[in-house]
Chain A
Amino acid sequence: MTTLPQWPHGKRMAVVVSVDFFDTHAILTQEPRMAGREKSLSVWQYGARRGVDRLLQVFEEFKLAASWFVPGRVAIEHRALVQRIHAAGHEIGNATFACEDFERLSLAHQHDSLCSAQAALRDATGVAPVGFRAPFGNWSPGFTQHLREAGIEWSSSWRGDDRPYFHPPSGTSTTPLVEVPLHYELEDDPYFTFNLFPPVPVGQPRIASYREVLANWRQDFAGFHRFGLCLPLRIHPEILGTAGRIDLLRELLTTMRAHDDVWVATGREVAQWWRSQHDGNEPGHPVDVLAPLQQASQLS
């Protein structure tokens, strides 16, 4: 009864590897008590120091192009590193200016953050990003139109499906924004992020077992492969780009590459493919259910 998506060249499924190169900005938004705490912040600074290079090395080994989400400030503060990521053939997407939580920002400020980041990233790489990730997942109604006007073609911020979908058309834009939806179980942060104090995660859970996480990811991959879906892997240089964990990525990619019917692509490529194949969402898609209800709640 379930209709399964088609992928290019007769491939069975798609994999998008995305990297959040947020440095300290997302954690400072998430946990303001982090400010000024050098030891704690250095956990997140490890990404720029070592993790990015380690991820780049693995991507080169696997001849894989990833989609990196970079806030504008990181493009300014780590300009040479961002240029190297770009030169290695990866896609660079916009991750707001300083990983602001858009739920606490007015639409106008969300727009400013988007545009400042777009300018900073274009300045660093010479190319304006077409991908976008809201680090905390949300934005206000109306922001989708700003994204399209800024030249953004795809986002990977929301959830609710296991294949791409279209955000409702907005404004004068004729081609809607494509979403490559996320799944927490395919992110490294829920399993591994840790800081003693301020506590991250808030309840101080143990760090998960590496081999069990790899086993979970392999099973998630097997499920996405069986159903022919789009698997979004979301990783961080400071979390998975460490000496002890980088082999989890290698082993997972080895598992994926053992199949010759897996299309590993950037978000941009997947969004382009989806656009070429589909005119709209299946009726009743959550994103289409949501829009009028958001409007109604604003009026009431």
Chain B
Amino acid sequence: MQLRQSLWPEGKRSCVALAFDVDGPTGNAMLDGSIWRNPAFFTLGSYGPWRAVGYLLDLLAEYRVPTTFFVPGWVLETWPAQIKAIVDRGHDIGYHGYQHEAFWQLTRARQQDVMARSLALFHKHLGLTPTGFRTPSGDWGDDTIEVLLDAGVTWSSSMRGDDRPYFIEHAASGRNLVEIPGRWELDDYASLAYQRHPDFPAGLDRIAPYDTTLDNWRREFDGSHRDGLCMTTLFHPKVSGKPGRILLLERLLQHMREADGVWFATCGEVAQWWRTVHPPAGAMA
């Protein structure tokens, strides 16, 4: 359903908050230690921060698209130069765990440790304090919102259930986060990621055709733009930043750039806009 009034600055029709998760080799296999016996899998994941981020930054510069990168602390401390280049080229960085921990399975204390450890690394290597968070593996626990708020996080891009930002309230303290929800349709794992041992997809379904994947993504943008919404992505450098798929992203960016009235913004800018212009009912603007 098309909105009657623009939700976005300067009357722009829709918003694109392009985003990548720079997971590298972090995740379950690193958390359980099995990755140290699995060099094929370690190197597969490393391709993202090691090589693909560089290609992506060139592409994003060409199309002038400010982008948000969610970076686990381990990836930052392992490849600081590659991650610093993201900041140097004007993009935003958000929290994404230390080794891509599943927050919903962590105690409150462990979640606090992960946030503090990540913050120390952001200070040390980049001299910055992130304001945003994307929960690794998608889910968080009952206490996560409070952990995030206490860590100074003001926005998140973790959920799936809407097509525009909204507020997640922490009733006990009256504080809130701006949530910028994504969609599985715009997660490149759902179409392009493939790995063996550990298998992904679990049943080893085929890698999707690039042409039809691009068509899906274009249609996602077209619908979001038509209805005046906010579209973010869950792309991964190790998946869609590979040489053949850079060309796919290039065509997607071309397509979005050809549309009139798109506000290309980082998730941080979107969150700030939303908090200022669309505050929750009853809140002080």
Interface residues of A (CB under 8 A from B): 1-2, 103, 134, 136-140, 157-162, 181, 183-185, 190-191, 201-209, 212-213, 215-216, 219-224, 226-227, 229, 284-287, 289-290, 293-294, 297-298
Cα distance, A226 to B81, chains bound together (Å): 24
Cα distance, A293 to B21, chains bound together (Å): 23
Interface assignment of B128: CB less than 8 Å from any CB of chain A: no
In the complex formed, the residue of A with least CB distance to B214 is A219
If A203-B201, A284-B81 touch, whether A216 touches B36 (CB-CB below 8 Å) is no
Contact A216 B51 (CB under 8 A): no
Cα distance, A184 to B44, chains bound together (Å): 9
Which of A212, A219, A286, A297 has a CB less than 8 Å from the CB of B212?
A212
Cα distance, A215 to B259, chains bound together (Å): 27
Cα distance, A285 to B50, chains bound together (Å): 7
Cα distance, A296 to B42, chains bound together (Å): 15
Interface assignment of B203: CB less than 8 Å from any CB of chain A: yes
Contact B210 A286 (CB under 8 A): no
B161 vs chain A, min Cβ distance (A): 27
Cα distance, A224 to B44, chains bound together (Å): 17
Which of A138, A159, A203 has a CB less than 8 Å from the CB of B37?
A138
Interfacial chain A residues near B207, Cβ < 8 Å: 184-185, 190-191, 208, 216
In the complex formed, the residue of A with least CB distance to B79 is A284
Interfacial chain A residues near B194, Cβ < 8 Å: 184-185, 190
Contact B243 A224 (CB under 8 A): yes
In the complex formed, the residue of B with least CB distance to A3 is B54
Which of A103, A136, A284 has a CB less than 8 Å from the CB of B78?
A284
Cα distance, A217 to B199, chains bound together (Å): 22
Closest 7 CB pairs of A and B: A203-B203, A160-B43, A137-B40, A223-B243, A220-B244, A201-B204, A286-B46
If A185-B194, A286-B42 touch, whether A220 touches B54 (CB-CB below 8 Å) is no
Contact B81 A181 (CB under 8 A): no
Contact A216 B243 (CB under 8 A): no
Point out which of A204, A227, A229 has the most chain B C-beta atoms below 10 A from its C-beta: A227
Interface assignment of B47: CB less than 8 Å from any CB of chain A: yes
* Stretch from B151-159, B218-226, B245-253 at the A interface: B245-253
Contact A216 B42 (CB under 8 A): no
With A137-B197, A185-B207 already in contact, 12 other A-B pairs whose C-beta atoms are closer than 8 Å: A137-B41, A161-B51, A184-B195, A191-B207, A202-B204, A203-B204, A215-B211, A216-B207, A227-B243, A284-B81, A286-B50, A293-B36
Contact A223 B244 (CB under 8 A): yes
Point out which of B45, B46, B55, B201 has the most chain A C-beta atoms below 10 A from its C-beta: B46
Interfacial chain A residues near B206, Cβ < 8 Å: 190-191, 205-208
If A181-B43, A201-B204, A208-B206 touch, whether A222 touches B211 (CB-CB below 8 Å) is no
Interfacial chain A residues near B54, Cβ < 8 Å: 1-2
The 5 listed contacts between A and B (C-beta, < 8 Å) are A140-B37, A191-B206, A227-B55, A229-B243, A290-B36
Among B158-213, those with CB < 8 Å from A are 194-197, 199, 201-207, 209-212
If A138-B38, A190-B194, A212-B212 touch, whether A226 touches B203 (CB-CB below 8 Å) is no
If A190-B206, A202-B203, A205-B204 touch, whether A159 touches B245 (CB-CB below 8 Å) is no
Contact B247 A226 (CB under 8 A): yes
Interface assignment of B33: CB less than 8 Å from any CB of chain A: yes
Among B31-89, those with CB < 8 Å from A are 33, 36-47, 50-51, 54-55, 57-58, 78-79, 81-82, 85
* Main DSSP-derived SS at the B contact region: helix
Which of B33, B78, B244, B248 has a CB less than 8 Å from the CB of A297?
B33
Interfacial chain B residues near A293, Cβ < 8 Å: 36
Residues of B in contact with A, size category: 35 or more
Cα distance, A162 to B247, chains bound together (Å): 15
Interfacial chain B residues near A221, Cβ < 8 Å: 244
Cα distance, A294 to B33, chains bound together (Å): 10
B270 vs chain A, min Cβ distance (A): 27
Contact A158 B40 (CB under 8 A): yes
Interface assignment of B242: CB less than 8 Å from any CB of chain A: yes
Interfacial chain A residues near B85, Cβ < 8 Å: 1
B50 vs chain A, min Cβ distance (A): 5
Contact A219 B244 (CB under 8 A): yes
Interfacial chain A residues near B201, Cβ < 8 Å: 203
Interfacial chain B residues near A159, Cβ < 8 Å: 40, 43-44, 47
In the complex formed, the residue of B with least CB distance to A158 is B43
Interfacial chain A residues near B25, Cβ < 8 Å: 286
Contact B51 A205 (CB under 8 A): no
Cα distance, A288 to B26, chains bound together (Å): 16
Contact A185 B242 (CB under 8 A): yes
If A203-B203, A212-B209 touch, whether A284 touches B43 (CB-CB below 8 Å) is no
In the complex formed, the residue of A with least CB distance to B37 is A103
Contact A289 B203 (CB under 8 A): no
Which of A162, A204, A207, A216 has a CB less than 8 Å from the CB of B209?
A216
Contact A297 B36 (CB under 8 A): yes
In the complex formed, the residue of B with least CB distance to A224 is B243
Which of A1, A185, A290 has a CB less than 8 Å from the CB of B39?
A290
Cα distance, A153 to B143, chains bound together (Å): 54
Which of A206, A213, A223, A289 has a CB less than 8 Å from the CB of B247?
A223
Cα distance, A297 to B29, chains bound together (Å): 13
Contact B43 A215 (CB under 8 A): no
Interfacial chain A residues near B81, Cβ < 8 Å: 284
